[in-house]
Amino acid sequence: MIWLDHRIIAGGLRDQACADLLAARYLLRSRTFAINGQPTTFAHAVVAKCQQACEKLLKGLFLFNDRGFDPTAGHRPMTDSTELTAHQLRRREGFFVAVNRGNSKLVPDLRWLESHAPPSTAARDRR
């Protein structure tokens, strides 16, 4: 069955991330409009779509390399280590090193973007 192949699911996460980025780019082009007389834009939706794209790409990377990774657990794979195995943490650190080679500001920016995601179930349960 197709759902049992973790690499196909990882590819689907990549495709969903691309769709989120396309939606963000489209929303970026929209003009200011009024809601109840207050000027607003879709900036919040752009941030949300970019955060979701980053989350899905990283989860897809984890899942592609680790069949045991649960892509449905949490929304913060960049900053929340509570639901990652030691192997996944090493993968994440390798990802950070590779990304930092291209642009040393990208990982902090991705972490900031991720801060806009809802807290994980585990984080809510600890309260």
Nearest one of 23, 30, 29 to 49, comparing CA atoms: 23
CA Rg, the chain, in Å?
16
Provide the pLDDT for residue 11.
Answer: 93
Rounded CA gap, 40 and 114, in Å?
23
Reply yes or no on whether the pLDDT at 24 is more than 80: yes
* pLDDT tens digit sequence for 28-67: 888 888 889 988 888 888 988 998 998 898 889 888 988 8
Reply yes or no on whether the pLDDT at 20 is more than 90: yes
Contact between residue 121 and residue 89 where contact means Cβ atoms under 8 Å apart? no
Q: How many domains does the chain have?
A: 1
Query: Which residue range is the domain that position 60 belongs to?
Result: 2-126
- Structure confidence at residue 1 as a pLDDT band (50, 70, 90): very low
- Structure confidence at residue 3 as a pLDDT band (50, 70, 90): low
- Structure confidence at residue 18 as a pLDDT band (50, 70, 90): very high
Q: How far is CA 5 from CA 1, 67, 81, in A?
A: 8, 8, 25
For 60-91, give the DSSP string: HHHHHH-TT--TTS-S-TTT--TT--HHHHHH
* pLDDT tens digit sequence for 81-120: 777 888 888 888 888 898 888 888 988 888 888 887 777 6
DSSP three-state, residue 33: strand
* Structure-token pair, residue 74: 């949490």
Strand partners, 39: 34
pTM: 0.75
Provide the pLDDT for residue 125.
Answer: 53
